Amino acid sequence: MGNQKPSIPKGTRDFGPEEMAKRNYIFNTIKEVYALYGFQQIETPAMETLKTLMGKYGEEGDKLLFKVLNSGDYLSKVSDEELAERNCLRLASCLCEKGLRYDLTVPFARYVVMHRDELQLPFKRYQIQPVWRADRPQKGRYREFYQCDADVVGSDSLLNEVELMQIIDTVFQRLGIRVQIKINNRKILTGIAEVIGEADKIVDITVAIDKLDKIGLDNVNEELRNNGLSEEAIEKLQPIISLSGTNDEKLNVIADVLQSSEVGVKGVEETRFILDCLKTCDLKNEMQLDLTLARGLNYYTGAIFEVKALDTPMGSITGGGRYDNLTGIFGMPGLSGVGISFGADRIYDVLNTLDLYPKEAVTTTELLFINFGECETAYCLPLVTKARQAGIRTEMYPDKAKMKKQMSYANAKGIAFVALVGENEMAAGKLTLKNMKTGEQKLVSIDELIREVK
């Protein structure tokens, strides 16, 4: 055992200092923008009761919940017969009352129901915490990962959608990532299915339309035929499949096709309102109406959004939409809400690929005082304090080691300046400041040093 290296569970990661600096830069940017729009942060426990979690994510989701053994004698409630039967699910329900949260939405719904009396509606909350899924780990998929959600509940106004699009635009502008923000509406999709009389085929339709660029119109129609759509339905879909032009032109075509569907007309109106408002909001990134967008169809009831980075191939890096029934799962009449979730891990990869981290976000120490011995250290300590009081990230090398070792420490940490104090400097009441990039050295007072480094 002695020489065996420790390890961490499959599907989890350590984040070293450099990764943490980069992750904090992303989270801090997002937090600042959320705060700018009046969103407030909450946190919920890593563990929820299984009563809260079970049955909220479908049968598949239930299997992917990490369960936590009861403390103490967790076998006390289990009979010998049950043990002998070895029925995993039944046993788990006897041995475990808690589980790790699987997403931030269900805990948020629980939070709203538990605290409804003290909440000011509309409630604008954001939450940045890890979630756990007993999924099969693979590239880019982890068993522990962070979600970064913002939601507004208790308001049906579409101004909330408008505001979330502005938040997305601002965050990516600050991060320096060029994106395209795609928008669609669940009601438009429902309307399309209604008009062509194929209510249950909407997913097949969006999947097929999505391939238009790759396989061309004839093949899309062929695929729709193979999915059991009638010729008449396919005929009606033609203007929708080959939609092009500006968002307004697309909306006019859709409105025309959907005039007989009440829900479809409503979807067009909602989308038009959101896009018209955004025209006056000085967005820096492009909004695109995209009918192939069909995320989480059973979940969303109104607008749906997704964000793609333009300068590097990567799946969706942010998504969200409007839902009607957040709190219904806990027996409270459905509160409508709209939310977005930033994909922090993917954004991290995009910023890495495009090398967009600002230097100050990832630099650590700016100034290192070299240790030449006791009496030099005594002279340096008040100067170290002054440098820190001036806001300079400063270290004093703790040991009287060889100069070469101390310098290579500075290089390894990417420290920009080194302060050297020997007998001459002490006699003159000064310090020697070395710029590690240029190698240039000069004799300075502590005030000059502070000005120089800043």
Per residue, the 3-state secondary structure of 225-292, as one string, reads: HHCCCCHHHHHHHHHHHCCCCCHHHHHHHHHHHCCCCHHHHHHHHHHHHHHHHHHCCCCCCEEEECCC
Q: What is the reported pLDDT for 2? A: 65
Token reading at 444: 């300075």
Instruction: Spell out, as residue ranges, where the chain has pLDDT lower than 50.
Output: none
Q: What is the reported pLDDT for 420? A: 97
The whole model's pTM is what?
A: 0.89
Q: What is the reported pLDDT for 297? A: 61
Q: What is the reported pLDDT for 295? A: 64
**Which is it for the CA torsion 117, 118, 120, 125, positive or negative?**
negative
270-275 contacts, C-beta under 8 A, 24 or more apart? 270/158, 270/185, 270/187, 270/302, 270/303, 271/183, 271/184, 271/185, 271/188, 271/303, 273/158, 274/158, 274/161, 274/162, 274/165, 274/183, 274/303, 275/183, 275/247, 275/248, 275/251
Q: Are 314 and 349 in contact (CB under 8 A)?
A: yes
What letter represents residue 282's amino acid? D
Q: Is 411 exposed, middle or buried (0-12, 13-18, 19+ CB in 10 A)?
A: exposed
